Amino acid sequence: MLDVRALQNSFDEVAAKLAKRNMDRGLLNSLRELAFDAKEAKKKMEECLALQNEKSRVFGQYRQEGKDTTELKAELDKLKSEAAEYETRAKELEAKLHESVLTFPNLPDDSVPEGKDEDDNVLLKTVLEPKSFDFEPKDHVELGEALGWLDFERAAKISKSRFTVMRGEAAKLERALINFMIDFNASRGFELVSVPFIVNAETMQGTGQLPKFEEDLFRLESEEERAFYLIPTAEVPLTNLYYDEIVSMDSLPIKMTAHTPCFRKEAGSAGRDTRGMIRQHQFHKVELVVISKPEESMAMLDEMLSCASDMLTELGLAHRLMALCAGDMGFSATKTIDIEVWIPSQNKYREISSVSNCGDFQARRAKIRYKDGKANKLAHTLNGSSLAVGRTLVAIMENYQKSDGSIEIPHALKKYL
């Protein structure tokens, strides 16, 4: 969540940064005016209450001295009424301000490249060389259906399109990948955490999924008044484990990993990647989440990137690291590096991991703080895919395919099968 005080005190700086994210300055100006109106209403209320207290003391003295209090009583009644009106006004404006500020994205870090979309992202480095074939490589759909690994037709029958049934060796390979990823992350100091796959609205709001991206979420019908949602990523429950908590500075950084299914409507991706497993409504992912001190968060970003990249190297998969430009970053991120893996059938790299530093943006929404001496300070939060299991499976199938249509298993996974 944006820092409203920064908006009031450093408007031009905030506006310039959000302009890099294609945000309209007029919308930001309206938010600032709303913040000033709320502040002014609260100030007027406090002035009325202070004057009311002063008049009340005089009223008490008058009564003790037997003086006429009629006029003073009328003034007190008027001040009480005005204070109540300003209080109501202040609460209404603050509620409107809070609701509005939740829809504004994070400020991009100064190191983020400028640009409007993915065409302006910057290549940082490539790792390993894409594999060459002496035959025309097939895509994972053709390979999977021929081997009896992937069943899209029956998945659509029991659910809808963009779901997959994995059978036999594919199901085993998926499980092997999950265990490999968890063990790899644990070796890098990330604690394994098992979390709920259903969360409440406050949790979704804490990491930025609500209110802006509700159309992408699967909302559950509930007899309770509260709304519940299937998680789109383990980032949501992992980060919010510390919702409205003050953690000790000595416990930071908190490094966590979790495997969960993820559920997304993909409402904004109509017509994109409709074939195969690249873009699904349900998929498995192993996630990394870190809660850190502000001065350590960029170092944590590098550590998480190394973890995900080294995992792909261990699997023998060519990949590259891309710095996202301001216009292509996710809502909550202040800086994001994507890792893209080579997909032979498409003859290009595709995203398999996105690692983001969110600064204090999520921590302000979720009220995640740490104790620094006597002061409570906002922590920084980071998250990253490590990795998207389905896309990793796709990459293995296509990069390790043989001319006879069989799939070689990467050495790193053999002990998990």
Catalytic option among 82, 214, 245, 351: 351
Distance CA(366)–CA(199), nearest Å, equals: 14
Chain-centroid distance, C-alpha 106: 11
State whether residue 397 is helix, strand or coil.
helix
Q: Rounded to the nearest 5 degrees, what angle is found at the Cα of 293, between the Cα atoms of 328 and 252? A: 120
Count the residues in the chain: 417
User: What angle is formed at CA 376 by the lines to CA 370 and CA 382, rounded to 5 degrees?
Assistant: 40
Active site residue 354: yes
* List 279, 296, 314, 350, catalytic entry: 279
The catalytically annotated residue of 21, 162, 264, 369 is: 264
Rounded-to-integer distance, Cα 210 and Cα 336, Å? 20
Single out the catalytic residue among 292, 309, 332, 354: 354
Cβ proximity of 242 and 262 under 8 Å: no
What span, in angstroms and rounded, lies between the C-alpha atoms of 162 and 266? 10
By three-state DSSP, how is residue 251 classified? helix
* Dihedral sign for Cα atoms in the order 91, 245, 336, 199: negative
* 289 CB neighbour count, 10 Å cutoff: 28
Q: Which residue has the tokens 């890792």?
A: 339
Strands, DSSP E only, in 55-197?
A: 122-127, 150-151, 165-166, 191-192
Query: In whole angstroms, what separates CA 222 from the centre of its chain?
Result: 25
Q: Is 192 in a helix, a strand, or coil?
A: strand
Active site residue 224: no
> 257 vs 179, 308, 416, CA distance in Å?
12, 12, 19
The answer to whether residues 5 and 110 touch, using CB atoms and an 8 Å cutoff, is no
Burial class (CB in 10 A: 0-12, 13-18, 19+), 264: buried
How many angstroms separate the CA atoms of 145 and 389, rounded?
Answer: 19
**What distance, in Å, lies between the first and last C-alpha atoms of the chain?**
44
CA dihedral (254, 257, 260, 265) positive or negative: positive
Nearest Cα residue to 312 out of 96, 130, 63:
130
Respond yes or no: is residue 351 known to be catalytic: yes
For 353, phi and psi rounded to 5 degrees? -155, 145
Catalytic site residue from 162, 320, 369, 391: 391
The reply to whether 187 belongs to the active site is no
Q: So which residues are the catalytic ones?
A: 264, 279, 351, 354, 391
